[in-house]
Amino acid sequence: MKRARISHHGQVLDVLVDEQDVITTLEGEVIASDDVRWLSPLENPGTIFALGLNYADHASELAFEPPKEPLVFLKGQNTLTAHQQPSYRPDGIEFMHYECELVAVVGKEARNVRREDALDYISGFTICNDYAIRDYLENYYRPNLRVKSRDSLCPMGPWIVDTGDIKDLSDLKIETRVNGELTQSGTTADMIFDVPFLVEYLSQFMTLKPGDLIATGTPKGLKDILPGDVVSCSIEQIGTLENPVLSEQEFYAQR
């Protein structure tokens, strides 16, 4: 099942989306897709965990050795925005790139979870595009706030797919397109630390709560993103997350 949140005629609704992307309310009313505004799929997300260098090909692309343990950092809720909503390119920078990522949604409290039981604690999966401003990157072992914590630069959605509906989590195709051009292609098979490992690892030293999010890193394939670009991130069996990119001035003028 795909579960989403939308705004429809001024109302915020929890909805279901079928395999043909038909949107229905929980009461069964069908809603036209061109008559909705997509919202972030979680109303109250918890802690947002993100992974650096979690794909071997991406680490190689950047001339880094693959990490020996997960490189985890935290992101603020201000970074989140929804499917089809704008992000922006900050003024005066040289290089901003997308990062198409599989996101695991924690469904129940998890503490000292074993790897073999980990997916029992994940309610579903979604997509994020964790944009990075490379100008300010000190190194991948210490991504600072100006790289990863700007308003709207982590689009997420369009929906959450139930864990049980994903057939093979270990080999999902990942693709990013910029203005329709394929610029990134990979697979979750190249992930260094997979979702069960990450749940076990994190829950060893902190309690994971329902609504926590684990963004699992991106494969190789970088491209500088400019105002006017439309970036589409697709993950097999989940869907496509698409966002336009504005200039900083345009973006904040609309808020």
In three-state secondary structure terms, 245 is: strand
Distance, in Å, from the CA atom of 40 to the CA atom of 50, rounded to the nearest integer, reads 17
Distance, in Å, from the CA atom of 82 to the CA atom of 29, rounded to the nearest integer, reads 23
8 Å CB contact between 227 and 91? no
Residue 1 has pLDDT above 70, yes or no: yes
In this structure, what token pair is assigned to residue 80? 């989140």
State which CATH number among 2.30.30.370, 3.40.50.360, 3.40.640.10, 1.20.20.10 fits the domain covering 1-39. 2.30.30.370
Domain segments of the chain as ranges: 1-39, 40-254
State which CATH number among 3.90.850.10, 1.20.1420.20, 3.40.605.10, 3.10.110.10 fits the domain covering 40-254. 3.90.850.10
Model pLDDT, residue 26: 93
Distance, in Å, from the CA atom of 158 to the CA atom of 1, rounded to the nearest integer, reads 13
171-208 per-position pLDDT tens digit:
999 999 999 999 999 999 999 999 999 999 999 999 99
**Full-prediction pTM beyond 0.85?**
yes
